[in-house]
Structure formats: C-alpha cells, structure tokens
Structure 1
Amino acid sequence: MSSEHERRQFRRYPLRLRARLRHGLEEVEAEVLNASVGGCLLMAHLRVEAGALLEVSIPDLQVPPTSMAVVRCTPTDSGFMIATCFESPVADEPALVRQVSEGAGLHPKSVLPN
C-alpha cells in the first residue's frame, strides 16, 4: 500500500498566499496552503463537490484565472479545505521554490477574512 505522498506526481510546497475562487456566480477569497505544478490545496468559505470546476487566480504565482478541478472538499472549523488540480499545469516549479524561499507569507495568521 503506497502513501498519498508516494502517489503524487509533483512536489508540494507549503505556502500562504491569497487566491480568488469563482464557482458559477459565487466569487470568494481563498488561501493557498500548499501548491505544486499540478495543483494546490485551498482554504475557503465555499463548499464544492468533487469533480466541480473552479476558476482560480493566484497573483503571487503569476497564475491568471485558470480552470481547476476539485479533487475533494472537506469541512473544517474555519471553512472548507479544497484539494484541486490544474486542468493543465500552469504554476512553474522555480516560482514555487522562490515563494517558499522568500517566506511566501508563511505567517501564523490566516489570510482569509473572518
């Protein structure tokens, strides 16, 4: 039995960055908790079903509005943890490494509004 880490195709980087999510007519602020070339883990006040498509923009990674598929959405005490994958890879690894090395907002406080 392989672990989830072993199944991942791309390395994930811990981040704390702002993002915007759009699902249908809803648009909300989100927080990127980690990212890879293939997708990212988001925290947002938005419940979505696995398989749903979101439009996501992450300005600090120079990611313009991009289509992402929801892998899973899990409720938490502070919103929903949304695992996503890019329809096609758009973040590049050097940009992710640069964000992590610059601290990428790895602050204890959430960037999501309460």
Structure 2
Amino acid sequence: MSSEQERRQFRRYPLRLRAILRSGSEEVEADVINASVGGCLLRTHLKVQAGDVIEVSIPDLQVPPTSMVVVRSTPTDEAGHLVATCFESPVADEATLAGHSSEKPTPSSKPTRPN
C-alpha cells in the first residue's frame, strides 16, 4: 500500500464525470477521475497550484459550485493537469459516489486508512 493510500481518510471511487472549474474569472471544463467524501481528482487544462482555492461544480452528482482547496497539481503529457482537491466541506456521501462509480467495488473491498 502506498503512503498516499495510507493517509487517505475516505474511500476513493473511480468516476467519469464532467465538472466545471472556476479560478478567478477563468471557467473551464474538467473530468472527474475519482472522488471521495473528502475531495476529488480532476483532469483539466486550468493551471493551478497547491493551496489555491477553486470553485467546482459537478452536475451529475448534484454538487453546486463549491470551494475546494488544491492539494497538488501535476502536469500531464496532454498539456493539462491532474489536480487533487480537498472539499472545504463534504458535498457527496459514499452511497452517491458508489452509485456513480465506473467500477463497482467487490464485497472484499475495504476502505483506505485515515489521513
């Protein structure tokens, strides 16, 4: 198990959903790669840095524009970024995330350990 997985407080669910990101006056679309009750991983062309606060909405999860803190942003080969975020307050529950997940957990799946 990687050290990142050991630090996670909530189970992450793989997703394939569209999101809208806003940073200042810039608004772009993004793809939600995975999400948990505490945050999500996004693929976007918006360049942000750790510590930035961005506004994100995820229509398919009925998440209205919500403030998120950027935990890290890593450039990708496609001139985009993978952006890990933390919700300032939880916006979806585990049942909702599991219902939208692109991979259904197996009965033996266990949540990851706390941060």
> What TM-score, normalized to structure 1?
0.85
- Per-residue CA deviations over 1:60-98 (Å, capped at 9, x if unaligned) read 111110000000001001210000000011111111011
Structure 1: any 5+ residue segments left out of the alignment?
A: 104-114
Query: How far apart, CA to CA, are the structure 1 residues paired with 2:42 and 2:101?
Result: 16
Query: How far apart, CA to CA, are the structure 2 residues paired with 1:101 and 1:7?
Result: 23
- Alignment correspondent of 1:49: 49
RMSD: 1.5
Matches within 5 A, 1:16-95: 16-78=16-78, 79-95=80-96
User: Aligned-pair distance for 1:16?
Assistant: 0.7
Query: How far apart, CA to CA, are the structure 2 residues paired with 1:50 and 1:65?
Result: 20
Query: How far apart, CA to CA, are the structure 1 residues paired with 2:32 and 2:3?
Result: 23
Query: How far apart, CA to CA, are the structure 2 residues paired with 1:45 and 1:102?
Result: 25
Give the 3-state SS of the residue equivalent to 1:89 in structure 2.
coil
The runs of at least 4 consecutive aligned structure 1 residues that moved more than 4 Å come to none
Give the % identical residues: 75
- Per-residue CA deviations over 1:40-68 (Å, capped at 9, x if unaligned) read 00000011011000000001111110000
